[in-house]
Amino acid sequence: MIRNLPAKWDLEADVVSIGSGGGGLCAAITAHDNGASAVVLERSDQVGGVTAYSMGEVWIPGNHHAAALGIKDSAESGYRYIKGLSMGYGHDTAMLNQAVHAPVALKYFEDRIGLKMCAIRKLPDYYYPHVEDSLAEGRYLEALPFPAATLGEWQFKTRVSPHVPYSMTHDEIFDNGGLANMINWDFSVMSERLSKDERCAGPGLAAYFVKGVLDRKIPLLTGVNAEELVVDGSRVVGLRATRDGKDFFVKANRGVVIAVSSYERNPDFAKTLGHQLNPVSMVMPGIDGAHLRLAGQAGARVARVPDVSMLGFHVPGEEQEEGVPLWRGALPFLGLPHTVLVNRAGKRFSNEAFYRSVYFALDIIDGATQTHPNFPCWAVFDSQAREKYPFGSLMPGQEMPEELGTTADSIEALADKIGVDVHGLAATVAAFNGYCETGDDPEFKRGTFPWGALMCGDPTRKPNANLGPLLKPPFYAVQLHRMAGGGICAAGVVADHHCRAIGWDNKPIEGLYVAGNSVARLDNGALMQSGITNARGMTHGYLAGRHAAGNPSDLLQKEMDRLGL
């Protein structure tokens, strides 16, 4: 191990979190409440991380909110659901560890920091009802609206999301026709929440954790960029950061927690670790693999699970911050009625209403030709879709900007304009329109996933929320870009059940912890299910904070004993 101690330290705490998303904040709060001092370092000028960018869903099987509603569920059932869908790419102990600790961590933060959560009604697991141990509702939770004014001077330094309607709760959205039917939403609620700055979704969730840190007077430092770990020859004892262009040495008596999301803003890492070629990204420019660089220095092991590319597009005139174009995820719009996703041959290649299906198909390589047959690809829709549904921030009825999409009076003319096989697209649309009449998509089973009907479809449309013909000109095509996972990624640092980083010798690296998306996804393997990521961040923070403060959890061992594993 290296030895690179500085002559003097600029700041000292028992536990030092790098990153101010859910993972870093939860680790600091838990460490503090277990008797350790803590500090949170953030590279950018805003706190909340990718957690604040998210829909704020927290997916926890066996949570007490579902129980209070009389929904029958258990952590063990959740474990079986994940294990089955992980396809063997995960580690059983990692999956069980997450399953047993997530409900406990949830309760812990509710009790300690005033986090207020509720079950999202009617939102099913991704694979419901197709696999055992899936539920129609009860595992998805979200935060109640958070009054951001209570953050004081941190109100405007706590991140909000350009991607989600964070002034509405899921229930409010679903009660008025879901994401597709924005046209029916109650905007008086949105107006009031925006005026009062009451935040829902990811911005709300992140704000609760920021408040927890502020209430504890845990120092929260922005503009501090972690450059390298400081190691004393046997354990990690701190880090060298830079602040205002100068070195800033932070001593960590008990541990450093790296919780800096993924590497997707680093194109080389995205290609070589994620197998994603030139992906665009919806997260902040700073999400560039700092965890790999830092933990790699201490010999941390990296692991990868099967993961997918998403799809995105850019609406002209939108920037994430000055000079950084904003990319929006295409997920919610591909499975809408009157919309199909096609490749160069003009053919559909997936169940557009279930993004796991879309994205794995997207990355397929045709070995005969060494090409990606399904990329590039285009969302194709008609003016019925345009009249009724949003497409990103393009609102129903708003004109299609030339920079975003191509417009034509017939499907054939559209195919010709975008360079897609004309006969192929015409045949695809004709067949699809036929499926819309029967309400059954025999090719890709569109509309058979209740989650996709609600999140990627028009739930008011009968008999199939995800089917509607493309009939009414003009027709539109939007070419989609390969997009990284919004912080969710294939590779990460391997951690044990206390979230200690593990070396290539499979031994924990003393003094080094990882949390959230920085952790290799061995706790879910080939599966991803929205809401897992926020649950992981909270749970990892809880576990790392406890262990670093000298009060490690023994729940996993107890559960393994109980299950006879």
Cross-strand pairs, 3:
232
Task: Give exposure, 334-353, as e/b (b: 16+ Cβ within 10 Å).
Answer: bbbbbbbbbbbbbbbbbbbb
Report how far residue 321's alpha carbon sits from residue 337's, in angstroms, rounded to the nearest whole number: 33
Q: By C-beta, is 32 or 163 nearer to other proteins? A: 163
- 111: tokens are 């009790």
- Could you tell me the CA-to-CA distances from 390 to 184, 260, 266, 403, 562 in Å, in that order? 12, 32, 30, 17, 50
- 343: tokens are 């490749």
Shortest distance in whole angstroms from residue 433 CB to other proteins: 25
Element (H or E) spanning 172, and its range? helix 170-175
Q: By C-beta, is 245 or 367 nearer to other proteins? A: 245
Q: By C-beta, is 399 or 505 nearer to other proteins? A: 399
Q: By C-beta, is 172 or 232 nearer to other proteins? A: 172
Q: By C-beta, is 111 or 186 nearer to other proteins? A: 186
Q: By C-beta, is 181 or 533 nearer to other proteins? A: 181
Q: By C-beta, is 109 or 166 nearer to other proteins? A: 166
Report how far residue 256's alpha carbon sits from residue 272's, in angstroms, rounded to the nearest whole number: 27
Q: Strand, coil or helix: what is 314?
A: coil
Shortest distance in whole angstroms from residue 373 CB to other proteins: 34
Cross-strand pairs, 475:
382, 408
Shortest distance in whole angstroms from residue 423 CB to other proteins: 35
Shortest distance in whole angstroms from residue 80 CB to other proteins: 38
Shortest distance in whole angstroms from residue 161 CB to other proteins: 5
Shortest distance in whole angstroms from residue 468 CB to other proteins: 18
Give Cβ neighbours of residue 59 (< 8 Å, ≥ 6 apart). 125, 139, 140, 141, 529, 530, 531, 532, 534, 535
Shortest distance in whole angstroms from residue 151 CB to other proteins: 15
- 24: tokens are 């870093």
CB 389 within 8 A of CB 343: no
Q: By C-beta, is 163 or 348 nearer to other proteins? A: 163
Q: By C-beta, is 245 or 463 nearer to other proteins? A: 245
CB 120 within 8 A of CB 127: no
**Which residues of this protein are in contact with other proteins, per CB under 8 A?**
53, 159-163, 166-167, 182-183, 185, 187-188, 190-191, 194-195, 197, 203, 317-322, 326, 395-399, 401
Residue with structure tokens 């994205």? 359
The 58-59 sheet, strands edge to edge: 58-59, 140-143, 117-119
Q: Strand, coil or helix: what is 282?
A: coil
Residue with structure tokens 């030339």? 402
Shortest distance in whole angstroms from residue 157 CB to other proteins: 13
Shortest distance in whole angstroms from residue 190 CB to other proteins: 4
